[in-house]
Amino acid sequence: MMYDSKMALAVKANSRVLREFEDAVYIPFGCEYSLLIKNLNSVKAMVRVWIDGTDVTEGTSLVVGPNQSIDLERFIKNGNLDAGNKFKFIERTAAISDHRGNKIDDGLIRVEFEYALPPAPYQDRIKTNTWPRIIPNPYYDQFVGNTSFGDVAKGGGVYGATEVNCSASASGGTTTRSLHASSASASTQSYSAPQSDVGITVAGDVSDQKFTTTSWFATDGVKHVMVMRVLGEVEGTPVAAPVTVKTKPVCSSCGKVNKATAKFCSECGTGLQIV
């Protein structure tokens, strides 16, 4: 799990959080996944997400309440708030590269967030009579509603927790939205040995994760960014299964199965961390 400025980010597959190695997670090509984002701050936050350089929520922002989390599993396209395609990680083959080209941010998940303006002390509000600060918002009349998950602001929504199932093997603008989430299944498919560890995220199975609009709110204007890489190959070997936080590493030297939290083999001392 990645953490910055009181915000946590994790990638999930098979309903489990994936283990992070430096700034990367490993997923088999052909696997669907979701993004778990948790706000550990005392104020709500606006969150935007880009995958492979594409804004996956069409310019809107997700609102995550204080100490709340969202589990984003699908794209929002053409303003469809009722259904959309899940995130699916596939190999960037030669045919794909020839058709769409290679982008510098392929395989990258970028999460940008900013927090709501904190309330001023009561005495300061009495003295100045200017708090909270009000920013003109021409979109305000378009924003309606609220949910038990929290508020949404200028380009965003609140997402409820959900779990995405994935079973795959590898061989060899501004609108505001909130979400009621539901889980869905994924298909199983086999793939030949990949040519590159770099993959891209494409449209997967259909998800019925739903969104609604809600009220805009002012933020402190400070943007924080977290970036995570998604890889499908380790040193030329395809990833056979998602590497979760509970995955027990096997020593490459002696074959010893170690604890999930181990950094070195308990039998021979070989390093277990993937780099």
What's the pLDDT at 148?
31
What's the pLDDT at 5?
94
Q: Are strands 7-13 and 2-4 parallel, antiparallel or unpaired?
A: antiparallel
State the Cα–Cα distance between residues 139 and 173, nearest whole angstrom: 9
Q: What is the pTM of this model?
A: 0.65
Q: Are strands 61-64 and 176-180 parallel, antiparallel or unpaired?
A: parallel
pLDDT along the chain (275 residues), means of 10: 93 88 88 96 95 92 92 92 94 92 95 89 51 38 33 37 34 35 33 57 94 84 95 69 62 77 79 63
What's the pLDDT at 147?
32
What's the pLDDT at 257?
79
Q: Six-digit token pair at 126?
A: 């009495």
What's the pLDDT at 43?
94
For residue 16, the SS3 value is strand
Name the one residue in this structure whose structure tokens are 């590159």: 196
Judge whether 177 and 144 are in contact, CB under 8 Å.
Answer: no
Q: Are strands 84-91 and 176-180 parallel, antiparallel or unpaired?
A: unpaired
Q: Six-digit token pair at 88?
A: 């699916």
For residue 85, the SS3 value is strand
What's the pLDDT at 177?
36
CB pairs under 8 A, 24+ apart, for 45-48?
45/7, 45/113, 45/114, 45/115, 45/116, 46/113, 46/114, 46/115, 46/116, 46/153, 46/154, 46/155, 46/156, 46/219, 47/7, 47/111, 47/112, 47/113, 47/156, 48/111, 48/112, 48/113, 48/155, 48/156
Q: Six-digit token pair at 208?
A: 């019925």
What's the pLDDT at 174?
35
What's the pLDDT at 227?
96
